[in-house]
Structure 1
Amino acid sequence: MAELFIQFDDNRLMSILCGEYDRHLTQIEKALEVQLLRRGNQITIVGEEAPAQDALDVLEALYERLEGGRPVESADVDRELRMGHPAEPESGPSDQLEMFGRGSYEIKTRKKVIEPRTDAQKAYVKALFEHELAFGIGPAGTGKTYLAVAVGVSMFIDGKVDRIILSRPAVEAGERLGFLPGAMEDKVDPYMQPLYDALNDFLPGKQLAKLKEEKKIEIAPLAFMRGRTLSNAFVVLDEAQNATTMQMKMFLTRLGEGSRMVITGDRSQVDLPRGVQSGLAHAEQLLGNIPDISFSYFTSSDVVRHPLVRAIIEAYDDDAQKAIARQQRQQQQ
């Protein structure tokens, strides 16, 4: 067992670091299986040598954030716990990416600053800025769409693109909703709501409404992309696993001069009719060896929603693996 000590000069910053009712300290204790004892402006770390040192590094990094004028919330604690080892990128960060702290990035939008919370997210964000066509593939809750929209807003604010176009297939998730009332926009809005949620996180309501009215931001079903050439735009296709192979080809060939395109999807949540091949899986097989196209992959360890989401995804993955094993044993018999 090791016993390490860390002392903070500013009691106000230390109070923020510890969180309300020391909830940030509790979060670190649970994640690293150490004990943190707070006395005055000093914290004592008790535990195995390696986890204790990790806890010390996390506390130092969080305090450094506060000294730099950045906030510390539960999400920031989670990020430091996940990304406790600094890793310099192979090349310098892009103009729109500001590097700070222990090799992390931040994406600036009108309402908030977004920071990747896992190594996979950091690599994904870097790929979005450096590649004209990028894929983000992984389970729900890993930030694929959220980060893509954040990068799009950042590039739009910086004048790197003239507009943002967000799309997803209008496919029902396992249930028939029947005919929806209203005009075209009213009919498709329920399918597009996750994209609106992301935009509302990054742009003030009045500005978002004005940009939509001016067609600087468009949200439309995948079927409405046919025949268009998308130039000087940041284009995101969400839920791409529900696009057919022909729809995927149609969408990818919309890429125009000066544009960036991001395709996100989860191979385990295909809602297409039985026997219809997913355009995402087909594109992955077909385009995986093209150097200028980036593929970023996420796993359950990259889930940044509620901790239970990660446990749920792992349980379903384990069940799927067991089903495959059973099927293979039956075939052998």
Structure 2
Amino acid sequence: MVQKRVTVEVPEEIPMIQVLGVNDANLHKWEEEFPMVNFWVAGNEIFIQGPDVDLELAVRTVQTQFTKTNKIKRIIPDYGLQTNQRARLAPALSELPARAADARYRAVFVSREKVIRPQTEGQARYVNDINSHTITFGIGPAGTGKTYLAMARAVKALLEGEVTRLILTRPAVEAGETLGFLPGTLTDKIDPYLRPLYDALREMLDTGTISRMMSDGTIEVAALAYMRGRTLNGSFIILDEAQNTTSEQMKMFLTRLGFGSKMVVTGDITQIDLPSRQPSGLKQVSEILSDVPDIAFSYLSAADVVRHSLVGEIINAYDTYESQTVLRSPQGLGRK
């Protein structure tokens, strides 16, 4: 049977939730209505593949979700990617049709204007680990969605009543954690270090909701130094930039876990800003807790980068350079 593909481009002014439905309800309905057709989503594009007759009906069905003009075009074999992008993303692209029916790739969170879902195999495993474990470590380079997906899952848990609080924290290593010596209120002191967490949060909730939830303590954003001595019950807790925690800080943070809570710890062990003789708590913790039940270690790589295509190329280039540098050094040669 000849399979053809088209892509439906959703205009930017139309929220994806309007097309896909809450919790992908419309998408699931299409999958049931057209069992011979595969659907999958990337950004504002809906890819549809199937036999001619079924494909035409499926496209018309998707179009009925629109309230404004949309643009439809045939997908070219390389999906419009540049040569270097095709090479890097080839494994993921080859799997796209099968993902339509794969529950792991369904939306993590749907807001008024955004549908957030895993885009790669590594991201899908990471989200599954978060769903199925009390503590999950997401370790990988910049741009792999570690913090963003964790935040989406946390906001979903909060809005659906799985937890009653969302707590976001990271070490303020740039200030040496000596926040008491910085001028201003506590918020003034820690805001610059927590800006990436705020940015992600604002993509999922409107400003008024965030302000209200922060005022009543439903959402708390704090530097790691202020977590000591607390027990966090009924909370979804995210520790970002965990590569910059010491072993003592990591132990302190993990032992804050209370009943009915879930933790996600994210970091990039290639971007450690601690003093050279200070070991990273994130690097040590996998050796210490790897065999503890209900704790998952999820590793992401350059193949999971979903930022500009150059980011993945940059990460690979640095990895190659650093591995060659180690081999050329006397210490590296001595370890061979």
TM range (shorter): 0.7 to 0.9
Q: How far, CA to CA, are the matches of 1:77 and 1:295 in structure 2?
A: 34
1:155 pairs with 2:144: no
How far residue 274 of structure 1 moved from its aligned partner, in angstroms, is 1.3
| Structure 1 stretch displaced more, 149-158 or 181-190 | 181-190
Structure-1 residue corresponding to 2:125:
123
Distance 1:100 1:230, change over 3 A: farther
Structure-1 residue corresponding to 2:294:
292
How far residue 183 of structure 1 moved from its aligned partner, in angstroms, is 1.4
Q: Tell me which of 4, 10, 21 is aligned to 1:6.
A: 4
Distance 1:272 1:65, change over 3 A: farther
Distance 1:332 1:170, change over 3 A: closer
How far residue 291 of structure 1 moved from its aligned partner, in angstroms, is 3.0
Structure-2 residue corresponding to 1:82:
92
The TM-score, its normalising length taken from structure 2, stands at 0.72
Q: How far, CA to CA, are the matches of 1:134 and 1:332 in structure 2?
A: 32
Structure-2 residue corresponding to 1:186:
188
Q: How far, CA to CA, are the matches of 1:273 and 1:267 in structure 2?
A: 14
Checking the alignment, whether the CA contact within 8 Å between 2:169 and 2:223 is kept in structure 1 is: yes
Q: How far, CA to CA, are the matches of 1:316 and 1:296 in structure 2?
A: 22
Checking the alignment, whether the CA contact within 8 Å between 2:302 and 2:312 is kept in structure 1 is: yes
SS at 1:215 equivalent: coil
Q: How far, CA to CA, are the matches of 1:258 and 1:77 in structure 2?
A: 46
Q: Tell me which of 138, 141, 145 is aligned to 1:139.
A: 141
How far residue 107 of structure 1 moved from its aligned partner, in angstroms, is 1.7
How far residue 130 of structure 1 moved from its aligned partner, in angstroms, is 1.2
Give the residue type in structure 2 aligned to 1:157: L
SS at 2:9 equivalent: helix
Q: Tell me which of 315, 318, 323 is aligned to 1:316.
A: 318
Q: How far, CA to CA, are the matches of 1:218 and 1:77 in structure 2?
A: 42
1:218 pairs with 2:220: yes
Structure-1 residue corresponding to 2:251:
249
How far residue 289 of structure 1 moved from its aligned partner, in angstroms, is 1.6
Structure-2 residue corresponding to 1:236:
238
SS at 2:168 equivalent: strand
Give the residue type in structure 1 aligned to 2:151: V
Q: How far, CA to CA, are the matches of 2:251 and 2:60 in structure 1?
A: 47
> What is the aligned length?
275
SS at 1:60 equivalent: strand
Distance 1:279 1:270, change over 3 A: same
Structure-2 residue corresponding to 1:31:
none
Give the residue type in structure 1 aligned to 2:197: L
Checking the alignment, whether the CA contact within 8 Å between 2:5 and 2:47 is kept in structure 1 is: no
Structure-2 residue corresponding to 1:16:
9
SS at 2:263 equivalent: strand
Residues 15-45 of structure 1, C-alpha deviations (whole Å, 9 max, x = no match):
637x89xxxxxxxxxxxxxxxxxxxxxxxxx
Q: Tell me which of 43, 49, 59 is aligned to 1:60.
A: 49
Distance 1:67 1:278, change over 3 A: farther
1:306 pairs with 2:278: no
Between the aligned residues of both structures, percent identity stands at 44
How far residue 206 of structure 1 moved from its aligned partner, in angstroms, is 0.3
Distance 1:144 1:65, change over 3 A: farther
Checking the alignment, whether the CA contact within 8 Å between 2:141 and 2:268 is kept in structure 1 is: yes
Structure-1 residue corresponding to 2:282:
280
How far residue 330 of structure 1 moved from its aligned partner, in angstroms, is 5.0
Checking the alignment, whether the CA contact within 8 Å between 1:86 and 1:102 is kept in structure 2 is: no
Structure-2 residue corresponding to 1:108:
109
Residues 117-174 of structure 1, C-alpha deviations (whole Å, 9 max, x = no match):
0001011111111111110000011000000000000011110000100000001299
Distance 1:268 1:204, change over 3 A: same
Checking the alignment, whether the CA contact within 8 Å between 1:142 and 1:304 is kept in structure 2 is: yes
Structure-2 residue corresponding to 1:96:
none
Checking the alignment, whether the CA contact within 8 Å between 1:109 and 1:153 is kept in structure 2 is: no
Distance 1:87 1:248, change over 3 A: farther
The TM-score, its normalising length taken from structure 1, stands at 0.73
Q: How far, CA to CA, are the matches of 2:8 and 2:96 in structure 1?
A: 26
SS at 2:138 equivalent: strand
Q: How far, CA to CA, are the matches of 1:140 and 1:72 in structure 2?
A: 33
SS at 1:234 equivalent: strand
Q: How far, CA to CA, are the matches of 2:5 and 2:314 in structure 1?
A: 39
